[in-house]
Amino acid sequence: MTFNSYEFVAFTGLVVFLYHAAPPRRRLALLLIASYAYYVLAAGAYALVLLATTLLVFAVTRKMHTEDPLRRTRLAVLAIAVVLAALVFFKYTPALVAPFDAPWLDRWGRIAIPLGISYYTFKLISHVVDINRGLAAPMPFASLATYAAFFPQVPSGPIHRARDFVPQIERISGASMSLVRSGVLLAAIGFVKKVVFADRIALAIDPIFADPGAQAPLTVLFASYLFAMQLYLDFSGLTDIAVGIGRTLQIRAPGNFADPFFAPSVQEFWSRWHITLTGWLRDYVFMPLTLALRDWGRFGLAVALSTNMLLIALWHDATLPFVAFGTLHAGYLVCGVLSRDLRRRLFAGAPRIASIRSVLAPVVTFHLVVIAFVFFRCETIAQAFRVLRRVGEIPAAAGAPPAVIIGVMLMGAVATVAAHVFDRRSPALEMAGWWYASCLVLLLVVLYVFAPTESVSFVYVGF
């Protein structure tokens, strides 16, 4: 039951209706039941993995609260190790056994990834670490289970922190209809991003990536640009739907994007792209590692940055293209750190260059990101290099992209810029009156008229 299915829309509508019809004291139980009902419908028996992981964290955190600091840390390490072991087993076993041609390993290569395991694992780990640091206290099982399984967030985030999420579900009172209206409108915008724009881009570029050698080099370049747009519109649309549904249930969640393609540097890009994941890694991996390596100077910072980027790559998948994706971004970041003083001196002594830099920096950053996204998109390293090699033939090869690709390129660029403008203005959705009704009706008409007949899966649900 994917987000872009009629079944999910009907399920969500029923849950929202029952939530607002129920007495406030019953709403937490309703959210928990609805979340597990969705998980069972979407992933079947893998709900037992989610339940077992939640029970483990619940039991360990209750015990941690009564122990001395040393014992508490040991319990935290144990809980994190077990939760991570489950993630590694289900998510990475197929990739680990794939290189070996042994019949007895075949069944291990067919293990399915439980829905949302990358997301709820990180949510539960953050709760364990926060308790160990004294930043949070154990919570009742119903609150913890709802936090881990909350159905709008469990497939693809955002990775909401417990200390922000749980107080909202434990202090449920009256309903804010302005929050409900803004949630419906935000979810509708997310569906338009996904169905009208991202899906059309995907259908246009999939054949190009399948056989880049048969396409004009400029067509392959346009497809590379378009994949970056598709990924952004697909994932930001998914986030809008999740956050919007949360608002209809009186829960405010953080967003995942803040004008990422306008970033003036790769470092800044990662503070604007998949914000809840990068923020999680910053707080629980990068900052502790930087502190541990502080005596190593810039080399220590380079190690911390590289480790962080490798973890981001592996969080997506353990295949070689994703490792290359993370390695490439690590190289970008390390080069930025090592050249920081040189660039400062250069721009301080040449104000004209500095003014040009403010214009060119986002353009250069975008192209660096697009190059890395080629590895994100391709199934093999060889395929990625075929795409890049074909793009490199532009100066020597003739041939304009087909008109349909030019049209999709223009559509994608307009939609991406519009979505960037919207990223920082979603609070303005809490409007009333005919403006709200007009926007909602317009979005629904656009969905009905322009949605393609073929459905495309959300990219990040696969992680």
Are the C-beta atoms of 355 and 415 separated by less than 8 Å?
no
pTM of the model: 0.91
- Give residue 92's pLDDT: 86
- How do the pLDDT tens digits run along the chain, 463 residues long? 788 888 999 999 999 999 999 998 899 999 999 999 999 999 999 999 999 999 999 999 999 988 888 999 999 999 999 999 999 999 888 777 666 665 655 566 567 889 999 999 999 999 999 999 999 899 999 999 999 999 999 999 899 999 999 999 988 767 778 888 889 889 999 999 999 899 999 999 999 999 998 888 899 999 999 999 999 999 999 999 999 999 999 999 998 999 999 999 999 999 999 999 999 999 999 999 999 998 888 889 899 999 999 999 999 988 899 999 999 999 999 998 888 878 777 777 777 776 787 788 899 999 999 999 999 999 999 999 999 999 888 776 656 677 778 888 888 888 888 887 776 665 556 555 556 666 777 777 777 677 787 778 888 887 7
The two most distant CA atoms of the chain are separated, in Å, by 72
- Give residue 99's pLDDT: 62
**Among all chains, which residue has been given the structure tokens 């979505």?**
419
Are the C-beta atoms of 311 and 339 separated by less than 8 Å?
no
- Give residue 94's pLDDT: 74
- Give residue 400's pLDDT: 65
Q: How many other CB atoms are there within 10 angstroms of residue 149's CB atom?
A: 24
- Give residue 411's pLDDT: 85
Tokens linked to 256: 């995942």
Q: Give which of 369, 122, 159 is closest to 255, Cα–Cα.
A: 159
Cα separation values, 44 from 10, 49, 108, 209, 282, Å: 19, 10, 19, 33, 33
**Among all chains, which residue has been given the structure tokens 């979407």?**
42
